[in-house]
Amino acid sequence: MVINDVDDLTDTEWLLAFQGQWHMLSDLSFSDLLLWVPEDPEDEDCQVFTCVAQIRPVTGPTALEEDVVGEQIAYDFEHQVLEAYLSHEVCETSDNALSAGIPVDVWAIPIIRHGRCIAVLERHTNQMGMRAVGALEEHYLEAADVLTSMIFEGRFPLSPVTDKALAPRVCDGVLRVEPSGRITYASPNAITAFRRLGALGDIADEEFPALIRSVMTGVESMGQTIQADLANQRSVVFDVEQPRASMRVIMLPLVAGGERRGSLVLCRDTTDLRTRDRMLVTKDATIREIHHRVKNNLQTVAALLRMQSRRMTSEEGRDALRDAMRRVSSIALVHDTLSHSIADDVAFDGVCDRILLMVGDLAATSGAVAAKRDGTFGEIRSETATSLAMIITELCQNAIEHGLGSGSGSIVVRPTRDDVHLTIDVIDDGVGLPEGFQLGNQTSLGLAIISTLVGDLGGALEVASVSQGTGTRARLILPATV
């Protein structure tokens, strides 16, 4: 895909996009990077700067052992950061003091955007630990010089990073590609990654579009597309997918001083990551299927209990089976919700609404009950959703049987949430509590189930009359983390 440019970003957003890709310069130049921003971005003569970001190379030794983020430079006209900001020129010095006697080369690079210097990039290179110069080092440093010029000219980054998890780094593999498409250099890791995809040879001196076309089986136009991207100096990200291997590729055009310098291509072997992702997708699908089957089995159990209740001659036995059917159905509702989602949390409003519909239908045999929800539960952890569903089911059933006397009336479930608690009120407009009522003195199975589940969730239950002689409110207070 072609990456969108960053011209419309604010300076702050642009600097954040820059930090998402400045690892390229750090690794190519074997240098530590510091980002200094002026205290007053609107003041072109600002003399106070704060370090807001720091990165160390993974390709070489660090030049700065200590973290510098948060430190300030103020009114030090000899400091290269201030000099670069005021002069709009790259300043280069050697400073041994910063690294306890280790020879360090320091560059201060003003970042120019829309004709203004919005920040200064400081580059520190540990000369004592520099690698012996070979083909890799020469091409890395050459590319680093081009990137430095692009930063100075406000040409880098070309776009924000959209997927940092898969974004390749310099150490994963690097290609240098001429404007014509010929590969002038391929790092050892890049060669290994392409060979895993089936490419042959040393990669260098091959045509990059032809190379991509050879490993992109089934996509005949891929080479022409890459050729067009090279010709138009577009920054693109694409994936090479094969049954046994995959690769993420970023192609970054290099332009310095108005001259086209080809492209820098970063590639990363993502085979293991893709395999892991496929395993996770399979696992998620398996979990959803398990929830679906559990829901079906619970619904079968509920249907069997309903059939058995119809054949009972004892009214007490019939009621007991109906209560069991209702409890099983409430658990099935949670598993049905989980079977349609891969999230760890449950959007509980839908579960509650279906519970209220089920409770209202069961009560319709003895009266007209209007049950509704007023408020939102938000997200409930999947491991506690079943317990909460059963509690609400039992509280609503108690409201119908005792508050409304199995007659007509209304029930409102009102959840409220703050940073500490999730409070759930179940309110009916029935006859209210009997005189001398005390919670805990009852022997009903429903209240025993409620008390056990509330204790497991670390909550508390309060029951009181809404007003003297009319209505009952059961208040469930749970931790907000349920």
pLDDT per residue as tens digits for the range 57-74: 999 888 888 899 999 988
Half-sphere exposure of 334 (CA within 13 A, CB side): 22
Q: What is the pLDDT of residues 109-119, one digit of tens each?
A: 999 888 889 99
CATH code: domain of residue 62: 3.30.450.280
Q: Which of 90-104, 120-134, 353-367 has the highest mean pLDDT?
A: 120-134
Whether 144 and 28 have beta carbons less than 8 Å apart is answered as yes
Quote the CA–CA distance of 441 and 463 in Å, as a whole number. Answer: 13
CATH code: domain of residue 264: 3.30.450.20
Supply the pLDDT for residue 255: 86
In the predicted structure, residue 405 carries a pLDDT above the cut 80: no
Express as a percent the part of the chain with pLDDT over 70.
90
Supply the pLDDT for residue 316: 85
Supply the pLDDT for residue 97: 45
23 & 147 share domain: yes
Q: Is the backbone of residue 378 left (phi > 0), alpha (psi -120 to 50) or beta?
A: left
Among 152, 181, 200, residue at a domain's last position: 152
27 & 125 share domain: yes
Which of 252, 216, 219, 254 shows the shortest CA–CA distance to 236?
Answer: 252
Segment 239-267 mean pLDDT: 87
21 & 90 share domain: yes
141 & 30 share domain: yes
Confidence of residue 37 (pLDDT cuts 50, 70, 90): very high
Q: Is the backbone of residue 257 left (phi > 0), alpha (psi -120 to 50) or beta?
A: left
Among 238, 269, 300, residue at a domain's last position: 269
Confidence of residue 96 (pLDDT cuts 50, 70, 90): very low
Q: Is the backbone of residue 173 left (phi > 0), alpha (psi -120 to 50) or beta?
A: left
112 & 223 share domain: no
Q: Residue 68 falls within a domain, yes or no?
A: yes
43 & 127 share domain: yes
Q: How many domains does the chain have?
A: 4
Domain assignment of residue 409, given as a range: 357-482
206 & 264 share domain: yes
Supply the pLDDT for residue 129: 64
Whole-number mean pLDDT of the chain?
Answer: 84
Supply the pLDDT for residue 2: 45
In the predicted structure, residue 385 carries a pLDDT above the cut 50: yes
Q: Give the distance, in angstroms, between the CA of residue 407 and the centroid of all CA atoms in the same chain.
A: 50
CA angle 340, 342, 343 (to 5 degrees): 115
Q: Residue 87 falls within a domain, yes or no?
A: yes
Q: Give the distance, in angstroms, between the CA of residue 461 and the centroid of all CA atoms in the same chain.
A: 36
Supply the pLDDT for residue 422: 94
CATH code: domain of residue 454: 3.30.565.10
Q: What is the pLDDT of residues 437-446, one digit of tens each?
A: 777 666 678 8
Q: Residue 395 falls within a domain, yes or no?
A: yes
16 & 144 share domain: yes
Q: Residue 4 falls within a domain, yes or no?
A: no
Quote the CA–CA distance of 61 and 166 in Å, as a whole number. Answer: 25
Q: Residue 103 falls within a domain, yes or no?
A: yes
406 & 482 share domain: yes
Tokens encoding 422? 């999730």
Express as a percent the part of the chain with pLDDT over 90.
26
Torsions phi, psi for 446 (to 5 deg): -60, -50
86 & 184 share domain: no
441 & 321 share domain: no
Among 342, 367, 402, residue at a domain's last position: 342
Confidence of residue 469 (pLDDT cuts 50, 70, 90): low
In the predicted structure, residue 282 carries a pLDDT above the cut 50: yes
Tokens encoding 236? 């693109």
H/E segment holding residue 336:
helix 315-338
Confidence of residue 130 (pLDDT cuts 50, 70, 90): low
Tokens encoding 40? 């007053």
Which of 146, 164, 132 shows the shortest CA–CA distance to 60?
Answer: 132
Confidence of residue 275 (pLDDT cuts 50, 70, 90): confident
Q: Residue 1 falls within a domain, yes or no?
A: no
Q: Residue 388 falls within a domain, yes or no?
A: yes
**DSSP class per residue in 201-261:** S--TTSBHHHHHHHHSTT-TTHHHHHHHHHHTT--EEEEEE-SS-EEEEEEEEEEETTEEE
Supply the pLDDT for residue 161: 62
221 & 148 share domain: no
Q: Residue 350 falls within a domain, yes or no?
A: no
Supply the pLDDT for residue 441: 67
